[in-house]
Structure 1
Amino acid sequence: MNVDALINWVEAWAPPEWQESWDNCGWQIEPGILSQPAGVLVCLTPTLTVMTEAIRLKEEGAPVNLIFAHHPLIFSPLKSVATGNPVGDMVRLSITHGIGVYSAHTNFDQVADGTADVLSQLLELKDSMPVVPTQDGLGYGRVGDLPGPQTLDELLAMIQTKLNPPNLIHSPMADLQQTIDRVAVLGGSGASFMPAVAKTGAQAYLTSDCKFHQFQEGRDRNLILIDAGHYATERPACAKLVKKFRQQGVVWTQLSSNDEDFRQFW
């Protein structure tokens, strides 16, 4: 499968026009690789570390020509592209080594096998549905019933096992022995969706990047807020992308081993 055919498939599955107005999905850098067979390194965030990994793999003989990322490389309009600037260095290395960068962000959040849907699958939620529908059967977040009632302590242990975050944060008022039946999930920064989550009947909400006052809001909405971190809640969907690309006929694709969490707990 050539790069252009792969991107056409991606954009039929997760159309860029579904992105939010502030977002920047699609090609970040396209160095003339569309007609080449796709060799894809999948990552959460397109950083210089990931680009260095792609270059090393290419020098070792892997046919890498595309970094497929969830987060965009370019958010704000560029006023210059210069050496010493991280984006400028990415552009220089991309063109020099023939490795493109493509991002699927808020469009990927909404779809089947997207960031929220994969979290729902990992927790084995039954009758899962979007928290905020945007398309027929698609949308932001997922909410559903656990396979069977669990204590909050058991739910937290399962999340720790499935996502392996460096740290789990949860609402302090929560009784660890209380029974949880219904859970909402949204990968990445999802605290702003709490008003919608509260209407779904979910008792617990797994997301990330929650602030002090958002935990207070969770308490006031009778929601147990569980923050597993941005990386841990979105990285599983990147791993699922590798499997989907292989199913589409991409001969060489793998998950980046140098993708970074950017957080360390001491």
Structure 2
Amino acid sequence: MKIAELIAWFEAWANPAWQESWDNCGWQIEPGVLEESAQVLVCLTPTLAVMEEAIALQNVGTPVNLIFAHHPLIFKPVKSLQTGDAITEITRLSFHHQIGIYTAHTNFDQVADGTADVLAQVLELKHATPIVETQAGLGYGRVGVLEPTLTLQELLTKIYTQLHPPDLIFSPEANRKQTIERLAVLGGSGASFISDVVKTGAQAYLTSDCKFHQFQESRDRGLILIDAGHYATERPACAQLVAKLQNLSLEWVQLSQKDEDFRQFYGKY
């Protein structure tokens, strides 16, 4: 399958037109690889380390020509390109080594088997529906039922076991013995959806990047807020995407081993 065909297939599933106005989905760098046979490295964030990983694979005989990422490389208009800047170096290497960078962000968040849907699958939510529906059957986040029900302690253990976050933060004064039947999930930065989650009747909400007062707000509104970190809540969807691409019989596709969480917790050492 050519890269152009792969992108056409993907965009029929997760249309870039569905992205938010502030977002930048689609081609970040296209160095003339559309007609090449797709050999894809999938990652959460297209960093310099991931680009160097792709080049290292080329050097040992795997001609990687596409980095398929969830997070955009370019969010804001680039005003200058200077030696030493990460975007500059990634761009230079992209053209020099003929490795394109394509991004699926808020369009991928909404679809079946996208970031939220995969998170719901990992935690085995039943009858999962979007927290906020954007069109029929699609939307941001998922809310569903835990069958069998779990205590909060059991749920926290399951999240930790399935997602392997470096740490878990959850609402103060939460009773770990209380039963959780209805759970909401949203990979990445989902604190802005707290009010929407409350309306769903969920007892607990798993997301990331939550601030101090958002934990206060959740507690005051009777919602248990659980923060497992941005990386841990979105990386599973990248792995699922690899499996989906493998079913297309691509010549080569692999999940990046150089994706980074960008966070360490001192207390762990």
Please classify the TM superposition score into its range, dividing by the shorter chain length: over 0.9
State the partner residue of 2:149.
149
Counterpart amino acid of 1:198?
V
For 1:60 and 1:81, the matched residues in 2 are separated by: 30
**Which residue pairs with 2:63 in the alignment?**
63
1:36-69 per-position Cα deviation (integer Å, ceiling 9, x unaligned)? 0000000000000000000000111112000000
TM-score (norm 2): 0.98
Q: Does 1:264 align with 2:246?
A: no
Q: What is residue 237 of structure 1 aligned with on the other side?
A: 237
Quick one: percent identity of the two aligned structures?
Answer: 69
Q: For 1:145 and 1:80, how far apart are their aligned partners in 2?
A: 49
- Report the residue type matching 2:153 in the other structure: D
Q: Secondary structure of the residue that 1:199 maps to in structure 2?
A: helix
**Structure 2: runs of 5+ lacking an equivalent:** none
Q: Deviations over 1:206-253 (max 9, x none)?
A: 000000000001011110000000000000000001001111221200
Partner of residue 106, structure 1: 106
- Tell me, which stretches of 5 or more residues in structure 1 are unaligned? none
The equivalent residue for 2:249 is 249
Cα distance in 2 between the residues matched to 1:235 and 1:153: 23
Structure 1 moving runs of 4+ over 3 Å? none
In the alignment, what sits opposite 1:160? 160
Give matches, 1:1-266, under 5 Å.
Answer: 1-266=1-266
Q: 2:15 corresponds to which letter in structure 1? A: P
d(CA) in 1 for partners of 2:61, 2:127: 45
CA distance in 1, matches of 2:194, 2:63: 43
Q: 3-state DSSP class of the match of 2:200?
A: coil
Question: Partners of 1:80 and 1:55 in 2: how far apart?
Answer: 25
Three-state SS of the structure 2 residue aligned to 1:206 is strand
Q: How many residues align?
A: 266
Tell me, in whole angstroms, the C-alpha distance in 1 between the residues paired with 2:111 and 2:210.
23
**In structure 2, how many angstroms separate the alpha carbons of the residues matched to 1:255 and 1:116?**
19
Q: Distance in 2 between matches of 1:256 and 1:113?
A: 19
Give the distance between the partners of 1:43 and 1:83, measured in 2 at CA: 24
How well do the aligned residues superpose, as a CA RMSD in angstroms? Answer: 0.6
CA–CA distance in 2 between the matches of 1:45 and 1:100? 14
Shift of 1:81: 2.0
Between the aligned partners of 1:246 and 1:159, the Cα distance in structure 2 is 27
SS in 2 for 1:180: strand
Distance 2:81 2:99 in 1: 17
Deviations 1:111-155 (A, max 9, x none): 001000001001110100000000110100000000111100000
**Under a length normalisation based on structure 1, what TM-score does the superposition of the two structures give?**
0.99
